[in-house]
Amino acid sequence: MSEVLLLSKSEIENLLKMGEVLNVVERSFKLQAQGKVVMPPKLYLELPEFAGDFRAMPAYVDGNAGIKWVSAYPNNWRHNLPSVVATIILCDPNTGCPLAIMDGTYITSMRTGAAGGIAVKYLARKDSSVIGMIGAGMQAKTQLMAIKEVLPEIKEVKVFDLRRDACVKYAEDVGTKLNIKICPVETIEEATGADIVVTTTPSRKPAVKKQHIRPGTHINAIGADAKGKQELEGHLLKGAKIVVDDIKQASHSGEINVPLSEGVIKIEDVYSTLGEIVANMKEGRKNNEELTIFDSTGLAIQDIACAKLVYEKAKGRKAPTFRTLDL
C-alpha cells in the first residue's frame, strides 16, 4: 500500500510562486553543470495527423525522481485549451513508489518562465528596461513574470501576436496583474526594438530578422522545442553569444537545430550552457554591445525540482488529498 498525493492545476496555482520557482530552477541549472543530475534525452511521440506530439521527460535531481508526460498542440487555442498539457509523477527514489501525481501544465509554464528570468539575470544588460514580446500566450505571461522578478524597473513592454485579440487581452490582463505598461504593436519590427526580446511562438519559419535587432540586445528564444522549429533568422545567431539550457536537446529541437542542420552555425559556435554560467564556470555578459541569445528547450530537472517544491508545500496545508494505491 502506498499513499499518493493528488494535486490539480488550481491547487498548484495557489501553491507555486515565481520567486520560489526561480530559486529551484537556478539551483537545477547549477547542479546540471556540476554533473549532479540524471536526465536522459526527451522521448518524442510525434503525431502529425493530429498536429501535435507527446514527450516523456524523466529526471533525477537533488534527491528527487520523477517523470513528466507532456503534449504540445499549437492549435489548442481553437478549443480554448492550453497548447501545452502535462502530468507529472513524483516518486521516492529509495523505493520507486509514487509520492504524488499532479497537473504539470502550470508547472511547465512557470519553470520555463523562470529559466528565461535566470537567463535575463546573467545575460541581459543591467540597465535593460524595455521588453519586446513576440507571442502573447501563457508562456509570454510567465516569461514576463520572471523577468519582472529580476528586473523590477521595467518601463515598457511591447507585444506582438498574429492574433490581434490575443495581444489586446495580454496587454490588459498581464499589464494589470504585474502593474506594467504593455503596448500591443502592429509589427514584429516594433516589438524587437527593445533591450530584451522574448519569442514564444510555435513558428517553423524565422520571424525575427538580424536587421531588426540592435547591438546589446538579449533574446530569450523559447518557442523552438521540436525538430524543425525556428523563430530567429539563422544569420542572427552567427556572431551572437549563444547560451543553451542543454546542448543535446538544443541541437535536436532548440532554436539552434535548423541553423546547425543548414550549416549556418557550428556546434562550436555555442558559447556555453546557462548552468555553466550560473555555476561560475563560464562568464555571462561581458559588455553592453554583445548580442546574447538564450536557447531554451525545457529541462526535466526543472519540472521535478518544481514538483518536489509543490509536494512539500502541499503536505503542509490543511487536509491534503491523498489516495491509497495497491502495489
Alpha-helix residue ranges (DSSP H) falling in 45-137: 105-123
User: Is-contact 132 196, C-beta < 8 A?
Assistant: yes
86 beta partners: 70
Pairing of strands 37-38, 43-47: unpaired
d(CA 80, CA 103): 18
| Burial grade of 270 (CB within 10 A; 0-12, 13-18, 19 or more) | buried
Amino acid symbol at 151: L
Catalytic site includes residue 177: no
DSSP 3-state assignment of 268? helix
Among 42, 68, 158, 241, the active-site one is 68
Contacts of 136 by beta carbon, 8 Å cutoff, 6+ apart: 159, 160, 161, 163, 166, 167, 169, 170
User: Is-contact 246 91, C-beta < 8 A?
Assistant: no
| Burial grade of 59 (CB within 10 A; 0-12, 13-18, 19 or more) | buried
Which run of H or E residues covers position 219?
Answer: strand 218-221
User: Is-contact 107 307, C-beta < 8 A?
Assistant: yes
User: Is-contact 322 3, C-beta < 8 A?
Assistant: yes
Distance in angstroms between the alpha carbons of the first and the last residue of the chain: 6
| Cell of residue 177, nine digits | 496583474
User: Is-contact 217 194, C-beta < 8 A?
Assistant: yes
Which run of H or E residues covers position 64?
Answer: strand 64-72
| Residues with catalytic roles | 68
